[in-house]
């Protein structure tokens, strides 16, 4: 089973654009949508309770609002998954028609999938998929990083340094699309200025490189 793992805070307007597409594009697929709501006040819960689709698993954890640490929130949503294939699916992302086929083909003991448009500003950069045991064998996302930025690149770089093959696919029929967000919008989600967001991202990149160079490939140990 594929588990699409999402954490969300006050993104209903975008989410209601992509969720129907994702449900339609996974019709007949053994999958679930794990949606971790960390305290939305925009009617997200009411909207999701209006769906009768049993694939939707909505979990509200308002305590997490004060945290807003990307790596911890990604790990939290992944920990709720029941599937053997884990996909990080941001609340502004719509998968392509052929995405699930690619996940089944490339998420193995020896490889993982990065379905990315090729545009760093597209919002699809963090769309990574792993076999469950492989993901947790790497320790998941590194929670020692700062609150935002580079956690997905770090995960992939640790995976590759561990001997896993990265399968990069940029076919739109696999990647799908994301609703564009500026860095300022992402920073605002965390209560940060864009300048501070950029600084933390740069510090996380340096920390990740140091860890990998020192052979620290498993996070959160």
Determine the Cα–Cα distance for residues 195 and 200; give it in Å rounded to an integer. 9
As its CATH architecture, domain 2-213 has: Alpha-Beta Complex (3.90)
- The residue-averaged pLDDT of 113-124 equals 93
Sorted by where each begins, the domain ranges of the chain are 2-213
57 sits in which H/E element: strand 56-60
Determine the Cα–Cα distance for residues 116 and 175; give it in Å rounded to an integer. 6
Residue 63: predicted pLDDT: 74
Question: Which residues, 6+ apart, have CB-to-CB distance to 152 below 8 Å?
Answer: 88, 125, 126, 128, 141
Residue 62: predicted pLDDT: 80
Determine the Cα–Cα distance for residues 130 and 3; give it in Å rounded to an integer. 10
CA diameter of the chain: 50
Cβ 114 vs Cβ 166: under 8 Å: yes
Residue 192: predicted pLDDT: 74
Residue 193 — very low, low, confident or very high, per pLDDT cuts 50/70/90?
Answer: confident
Determine the Cα–Cα distance for residues 159 and 5; give it in Å rounded to an integer. 19
Residue 195: predicted pLDDT: 87
pLDDT digits (tens, 9 = 90+) for 36-77: 999 999 999 999 999 999 999 999 988 766 778 999 999 999
Quick one: what percent of the chain has pLDDT higher than 90? 84
Cβ 2 vs Cβ 31: under 8 Å: yes
Beta strands 177-178 and 56-60 are unpaired
Residue 189 has pLDDT above 70, yes or no: no
């Amino acid at each position: 089973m594929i588990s699409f793992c999402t954490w969300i805070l006050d993104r209903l307007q975008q989410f209601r654009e992509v969720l129907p597409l994702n449900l339609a594009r996974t019709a007949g697929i053994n999958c679930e949508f794990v949606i971790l709501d960390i305290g939305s006040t925009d009617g997200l819960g009411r909207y999701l309770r209006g769906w009768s689709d049993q694939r939707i698993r909505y979990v509200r954890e308002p305590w997490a609002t004060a945290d807003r640490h990307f790596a911890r929130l990604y790990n939290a949503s992944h920990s709720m998954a029941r599937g053997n294939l884990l996909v990080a699916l941001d609340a502004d992302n719509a998968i392509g028609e052929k995405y699930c086929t690619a996940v089944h083909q490339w998420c193995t003991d020896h490889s993982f999938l990065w379905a990315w448009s090729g545009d760093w500003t597209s919002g699809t950069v963090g769309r990574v998929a792993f076999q469950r045991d492989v993901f947790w064998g790497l320790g998941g996302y590194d929670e020692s990083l700062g609150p935002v930025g580079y956690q997905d690149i770090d995960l992939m770089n640790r995976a590759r340094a561990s001997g896993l093959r990265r399968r990069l696919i940029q076919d739109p029929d696999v990647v799908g699309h994301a609703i564009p967000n500026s860095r300022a919008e992402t920073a605002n989600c965390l209560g940060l200025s864009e300048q501070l967001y950029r600084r933390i991202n740069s510090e996380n990149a340096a920390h990740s490189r140091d860890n990998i160079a020192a052979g620290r490939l498993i996070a959160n140990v």
